[in-house]
């Protein structure tokens, strides 16, 4: 339960630029990563919003989340949890603090890496905003 939009700020263009994609290729070891705008979105989570356990299927090889919420605290909720392949425990937890870029591998196991976003705390006056997408 959250909202998505495709209204992008021009500064997000950097994710499509060749220099940035080359850096991702260097970091990940993948070659010929492809970026398309239709594989990205901006999400806006408010109090009570969450994204339950799921995979991204075969949307791409690398998933990314660029966090844009200023003054976010872990107790606000909205934590990103990547789960182990058995869906039994979290093997990575990321608090969505401002200007944090997270990426993870979603390619190769047939269904993608299990993950979720925890519920944003009731009474939280901040919005959990992030730019998300996949490189193929």
Look-up: residue for tokens 């990426």?
A: 103
Range of weakest confidence among 1-5, 11-15, 36-40, 78-82: 1-5
β-strand pairing of 115-117 with 3-5: unpaired
Taking CA atoms, 83 is separated from 8, 78, 80, 96, 125, in Å, by: 29, 15, 10, 17, 28
- How many whole angstroms separate alpha carbon 41 and alpha carbon 133? 6
Mean pLDDT of the chain: 88
Question: Sorting pLDDT into bands at 50, 70 and 90, what band is 5?
Answer: low
In this predicted structure, the answer to whether residue 31 has a pLDDT above a threshold of 90 is: yes
Q: What is the pLDDT of residues 93-134, one digit of tens each?
A: 999 999 999 998 886 556 778 899 999 999 999 999 999 999
Range of weakest confidence among 10-19, 42-51, 88-97: 10-19
């Amino acid at each position: 339960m959250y909202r998505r939009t495709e209204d992008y700020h021009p500064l997000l263009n950097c994710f499509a630029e060749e220099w940035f994609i080359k850096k991702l290729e260097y970091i990940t070891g993948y070659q010929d990563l492809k970026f398309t705008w239709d594989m990205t979105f901006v999400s806006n989570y408010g109090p009570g919003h969450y994204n339950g356990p799921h995979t991204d299927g075969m949307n791409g090889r690398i998933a990314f989340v660029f966090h844009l919420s200023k003054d976010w605290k872990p107790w606000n909720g909205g934590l990103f949890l990547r789960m182990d392949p058995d869906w039994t425990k979290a093997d990575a937890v990321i608090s969505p603090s401002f200007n944090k870029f997270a990426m993870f591998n979603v390619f190769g196991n047939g269904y993608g890496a299990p993950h979720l976003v925890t519920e944003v705390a009731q009474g939280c006056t901040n919005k959990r905003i992030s730019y998300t997408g996949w490189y193929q």
